[in-house]
Structure 1
Amino acid sequence: MLLAIGPLELKLTGPFILLPKKEIRMPNEPYGYYEKLSYDRDNLLTVINQLVVWCNLVSNSAGERYLHHGGI
């Protein structure tokens, strides 16, 4: 897997977070920011590999199993 040879920490840009609304905001004052996400490579690989195992079980179950997710 390509991630296995990557850096020990995976850094991503998350969603844009709006700051609470202010009545008066200075012209250069930000109204939000992008969340910074970071993940440990080895822990992430463990989770992804388990997900692959589950997906293979579902794929080979002839419709008897399913993978339920709560959204991403």
Structure 2
Amino acid sequence: MPNRKILLDEDEIPKQWYNITPDLPKPLPPFIDVETKEPGAGIVPRIFPKAILGQEMSKDRWIDIPEEVREVYRIW
């Protein structure tokens, strides 16, 4: 597969991520705890960093990209 690189001007760098969850025909199944094999939201804080939890659990269609991430995007 050929290597492809798309260069964007700074004003074209995305400001939001698309969250597919609201557009799915049915909700995703709950997370399963690998130790207990039981579903439950209690596992979520153990598998995702705190800063990511809001994004992972969000029902919003568009999620703002943190400015720190956008700054890294500008490097390339």
Give the structure, 1 or 2, with the largest relative contact order (CA under 8 Å, sep 6 or more): 2
Higher normalized strand content (fraction of residues): 1
TM-score (norm 2): 0.29
Higher normalized helix content (fraction of residues): 2
Structure with the greater alpha carbon radius of gyration: 1
